[in-house]
Structure 1
Amino acid sequence: MKRIQEIDALRGFALFGIILTHMYQGYLASSVPAEYFGYNLMYPIDNVSRWIVRNLFSGKFYAIFSMLFGLSFYLILDRKQNSSPLKFAWRLVLLFVIGYMNHVFYRGDFLVVYAIFGFVLLLARPLPSKYILPIGLFLALNGPNIIIQGLNLLEFPLQLNWYIPMGPSPAQANNTYFDLILHGDLKSVMVSNGTIGIINKFNYLVHSGRFWVVPGLFLLGLWIGRQKYHERLDQLKWGNIILISASIGIPMVFIHFHFYTADHSPFVRFIAFIAQELSNIFMPLLYIGLIFPFFNWNFTQKLLKFLVPVGRMGLSTYVIQSLFGIIIFYGYGLGLFLKISATLAILLGVAVFAIQTIFSVWWFKRFKYGPLEWLWRSGTNLKWQAMKK
């Protein structure tokens, strides 16, 4: 039970970082038009908040959440010889439905992405672990995009041109979506997200490299499960994990921060790009290495146990975070997008997460599953599950 609690706590920790990142962004799922650059930098401290979120949060906490999804696949299906792949596929279909419903309100939803790339885990299930690790690392490090950019530096043009040409240019689409977030009504936002928003999501996945990174992280989570690291957490050499991940991750953060600017040559920017991808793997490992040993200390153990319930209902927590975000920032809600600073937005994220933590503790004193977890489980089993304890 303790080991499961630790995994749930880590999921809760990842959700904490995710909501702070999204709150900083104002739950905007696109680039900011040029005239609005720095829209949330209202006070000097906001520059500190921006640096922290961009370098220590963005891309880091979703990596933890994604690896845990791959680990969950192992726990649900991969370790059981007689388990049904079809049932897991049906589970992914249901996740897509839940994710699409969330996407209609919030275009940045990643449950839809998880549902689609979850099928990669089914395809990888027959592969031996010795292949899972290198493939997972190559994809998680955005290997295909690194190769393509490297070839472009050698003037061997190979463009990853999978964009779906539809409607206006990407810049025009971003401006239209930005205006919709500021001034659009609920129906207009839902229609846009449910139609052109899907195309924009696919194009973002390709452009950002998450088309490769997400399935790569899933495979790394699967590999971790096969190595049964989650069953022998007390035996792992956390000091070495922290030292190695910090020695690589922290320098990579600063290399990307200082050199991925227009002031440097394409080659230097390419090196900084690789540094960013490395930091997005080793910084999450550092965070994991820092949080797990705290379970052995009496004081921090009590604090971390508050993360267990909120991580246990990870699906519900994530969707509810999205609802909070769009109500706070979007024009048809409180409309605070251009009215509050980055630091205040982050503090609001802390408050929302605190509310979710209190709610989840209250909820699990009465019920067996989180609200959406119960619905997901019932749909998977095609039978209403007992809810109350």
Structure 2
Amino acid sequence: MSGTPYSWALRVQTWRIPKVLGIMLVGIAVGRRLAAGGFFENRKLFGKVLVAGLAVGVPATAVYAFVPGQGQASWSSLIGTVPLALTLAAAFVLVWPRAQPVLRHLVPVGRMALTNYLTHSMIGLIFFYGIGFGLAGTLSPPFFYGVALLIFGGQMLFSRWWLDRYEQGPAEALWRSATYGWGRKPLKTDSAG
């Protein structure tokens, strides 16, 4: 079996469809609560989600990560994926009001998301695949994470520098021009002259 039948069989075998459907249903429920207003002010709800998610998601995910033979169809993946995602979302909502002074440094990176995605993809190709240095599988996890943090730090600095001079990232400007018509929107900001 190959191609599309294999792809769908893998999705069914690993319970991907019910997991995604569950996440979509949670998203619908959250969307309705957001539309009704006052959702993010309910800190007690997010505290309960955080505790429940930690109690279920972290142990199951630890089993998935550290016990040999665990795959996407294993109980640890099935039980741990959604609660861990909800835990991270709840933690983000709870920390958000106090973290804004730190998180504001991520705004330029987010405004240039397409440019940064393409850039780190090219860097990954050069460093890890045969067209470049071929380092895939040769780096220890701490070193790999250190490299990832260096790349992201460089993207943060570059994004801030670029957006001080231009209204949007180069890939975003190209995308916008292709979508809305060439030559309608200048890349430079008024202050950049």
TM-score by length of 1: 0.40
Aligned with 1:379 (options 153, 162, 178): 178
Match of 2:95 in 1: 294
Match of 1:354 in 2: 153
Match of 2:10 in 1: 207
Match of 1:59 in 2: none
Pairwise CA RMSD: 3.5
Matches within 5 A, 1:265-344: 273-297=74-98, 300-344=99-143
Aligned with 1:236 (options 13, 17, 42): 42
Is the Cα–Cα contact under 8 Å of residues 260 and 273 in structure 1 kept in the other structure?
no
Matched AA of 1:236: N
Alpha-carbon distance in 2 for matches of 1:387, 1:226: 38
Matched AA of 2:94: P
Q: Secondary structure at the residue paired with 2:108?
A: helix
Alpha-carbon distance in 2 for matches of 1:256, 1:287: 17
Is the Cα–Cα contact under 8 Å of residues 33 and 39 in structure 2 kept in the other structure?
no
Q: Kindly provide the CA deviation profile for residues 357-381 of structure 1, in whole angstroms up to 9, marking residues without a partner as x.
A: 1111222223332322222233232
Alpha-carbon distance in 2 for matches of 1:222, 1:386: 38
Q: Kindly provide the CA deviation profile for residues 78-104 of structure 1, in whole angstroms up to 9, marking residues without a partner as x.
A: xxxxxxxxxxxxxxxxxxxxxxxxxxx
Give the drift of 1:328.
Answer: 1.0
Greater Cα shift, 248-257 or 204-213 = 204-213
Alpha-carbon distance in 2 for matches of 1:232, 1:373: 33
Is the Cα–Cα contact under 8 Å of residues 205 and 211 in structure 1 kept in the other structure?
no
Q: Kindly provide the CA deviation profile for residues 335-388 of structure 1, in whole angstroms up to 9, marking residues without a partner as x.
A: 323543232112101110111111112222233323222222332323443433
Alpha-carbon distance in 2 for matches of 1:345, 1:379: 36
TM-score by length of 2: 0.72
Q: Secondary structure at the residue paired with 1:369?
A: coil
Aligned with 1:370 (options 166, 169, 172): 169
Alpha-carbon distance in 1 for matches of 2:126, 2:31: 38
Is the Cα–Cα contact under 8 Å of residues 40 and 93 in structure 2 kept in the other structure?
no
Q: Matched residues, percent identical?
A: 26
Query: Unaligned regions of 5+ residues in structure 1, if any?
Result: 1-160, 165-198, 263-268
Is the Cα–Cα contact under 8 Å of residues 312 and 370 in structure 1 kept in the other structure?
yes
Q: 1:222 to 1:388 in 2, by over 3 A?
A: farther
Alpha-carbon distance in 1 for matches of 2:24, 2:181: 26
Q: Kindly provide the CA deviation profile for residues 107-140 of structure 1, in whole angstroms up to 9, marking residues without a partner as x.
A: xxxxxxxxxxxxxxxxxxxxxxxxxxxxxxxxxx
Alpha-carbon distance in 2 for matches of 1:255, 1:292: 26
Q: Secondary structure at the residue paired with 1:239?
A: helix
State yes or no: 1:261 paired with 2:64. no
Alpha-carbon distance in 1 for matches of 2:170, 2:95: 29
